[in-house]
Amino acid sequence: MRISLALLLLLAGCEAIDPTTREGMWHPNGANDTNLRAMVAVPADLVRGRTPEGGDGQQAAAALDRARHDKVRPLPDSAIAKLQAQPQSQSGSPASN
């Protein structure tokens, strides 16, 4: 009984040090929800989702199946830049060709 009373008294003092209840501290004001609603094209999507056009999950399921069976397809070549690893010399700078 005394332990319960002591714990109750200790917990009663938590409000004085809780930063969300102290005066002069930041308090939640719903700004995150307001910003999210401003950025969403169709606000109803926040209440219920919608099915993407032309997709039923088969493409995603096939990709997961390939990943699970180590048959991952290579990414297509973008032909933007060719990156190659170069060996490092002893000094830490790239070796000259």
Cα 5 to chain centroid distance, Å, stands at 42
Report the first-to-last Cα separation within the chain, whole angstroms. 81
pLDDT digits (tens, 9 = 90+) for 5-50: 777 766 666 666 777 777 787 777 889 888 988 888 888 888 887 7
pLDDT at 69: 95
Q: Which residues contact 42 (CB under 8 A, 6 or more apart)?
A: 50
Q: Are 63 and 71 in contact (CB under 8 A)?
A: no
Q: How far is CA 61 from CA 22, 33, 50, 57, 66, in A?
A: 50, 33, 19, 6, 9
pLDDT digits (tens, 9 = 90+) for 41-91: 888 888 887 777 777 788 889 999 999 999 998 888 777 777 777 888 776
pLDDT at 14: 66
pTM reported for the whole predicted model: 0.29
